[in-house]
Structures are given as structure tokens and as C-alpha cells.
Amino acid sequence: MIDLFLERTFAAPFTVEVIASLTHEALPCFALHRVAWRGSLLSRDGCRLVCRFQAPDVESCRIALRQAKADASRLWPGTVHEAPGETAEGPANANVLVERSFAQAVELARIQALEDAGVGCLSDYRVRFVRTFFSCDARRMLCLYRAGDAESVRQAQRQIGMPMDRVWAFQTILPPTT
């Protein structure tokens, strides 16, 4: 099974309840294609969404999403990297996402070194790095942080010279536990 990430934007805002309901309705399609929904991050304004899945391959997930009538155009395979020393509850407490894209493939270690060098700055802004989703083509990265607000993360990232496309606060939507 591989990790897959779907990025979506909406003209009109969605609520956590609507996203949870749509995902619940898609579960039979996901099961048919052996796709497991691992959770979603919905922006506070309801206009941006990142979903994480695990599936045998990209095409299985793409087919399941299309059958569920979801736009799969921004679906990409990637890897998950926890922050050093992060506890199991860390990702559950994350609340700010930083989107990064790169014209050329980058090494995760190079970006991580920038982050590590700026740990004091992050601390000054009361920002804690939690997790990264890194695309297999090494040109896309989504980083999760725990912070008082998105602006604190934006300021800390700017000060340490980290590349960023967007920074936004989110709510986490998780699958029901059985």
C-alpha cells in the first residue's frame, strides 16, 4: 500500500459535516478498490481540502474517487515523515498547513535541514513542526504545524527563509474508529 494525497479547492465553502458525509458515501467505492481513507484536513474557511489515502496504487485510488464523483486531478503519491521526537498525538494536534512546491525536484533532507536550523525561530513564534507529506516526484510538500494561528507559522517560515506557497489553518476530519 502507498500513501496518496488529494488536494482540492472549492469556490463555495464546505463544512466538516459535509466532507465527512461525502467521504462516508464514498466508502463502498473505496472498499471495492482497496482504498483506505486516512483523514482529511479542511481549511478554516472551508475552501481548501487535503485528503490522505492508502491504496495499492495511484490508479486504484483515482478510479475510486471518480466513481465517488470526486475530482482526482490533484492526486499524488507521497511519503509521510514525522518530526523528530514527535509523539503519537502530535499530528492529531496539528492545526496549520504549509504548502510548498518546487520547480525542480528537491531533497527532503535539504528542506529538513532548513527547518532544523530554524527551530529556535519556530519556538519564538510558539510554532512546532509535526509532520510532512512529501511527493514522490520531490516537487510538492505539505507540512503540518501546531501553532496559535496561521500568521505565526507564516512569520516564522518567512524569517527562517523557508519556501511556501500558502499557509492555512485547518480542522482535521478522521475516519470513524471501529
Q: Which tens digits make up the pLDDT trace of 7-18?
A: 999 999 999 999
Taking 60 as the threshold, does the pLDDT of residue 178 lie above it?
no
Give me the count of residues in the chain: 178
pLDDT reported for residue 107? 92
pLDDT reported for residue 87? 63
Averaged confidence pLDDT in the chain = 91
Residue 104, number of CB atoms within 10 A of its CB:
6
**What are the tens digits of pLDDT across the range 67-113?**
999 999 999 999 999 887 766 565 678 999 999 999 999 999 888 88
| Alpha-carbon span 133 to 140, nearest angstrom | 8
**Between β-strands 96-101 and 36-43, what pairing exists: parallel, antiparallel or unpaired?**
unpaired
Q: What percent of the chain has pLDDT over 90?
A: 74
pLDDT reported for residue 91? 67
| Alpha-carbon span 93 to 91, nearest angstrom | 5
**What are the tens digits of pLDDT across the range 113-139?**
888 887 788 888 999 999 999 999 999
pLDDT reported for residue 150? 96
| Helix, strand or coil, per DSSP, at residue 6 | strand
Using only C-alpha atoms, the chain has a radius of gyration, in whole angstroms, of: 16
pLDDT reported for residue 86? 66
pLDDT reported for residue 20? 87
Could you give the angle at which helices 150-160 and 108-117 cross, rounded to 10 degrees? 100
DSSP conformation letters of 25-51: HHHHHHHHTT-EEEEEEEETTSSEEEE
pLDDT reported for residue 127? 93
C-alpha cell at 32: 471495492
Domains and CATH numbers, the chain: 2-77 (3.30.70.3090), 79-172 (3.30.70.3090)
Q: Taking residues 17-33, report their average pLDDT.
A: 91
Q: Identify the band that residue 175 occupies on the pLDDT scale cut at 50, 70 and 90.
A: confident
Which is more confident, 84 or 166?
Answer: 166
pLDDT reported for residue 126? 93
C-alpha cell at 36: 483506505
Taking 90 as the threshold, does the pLDDT of residue 39 lie above it?
yes
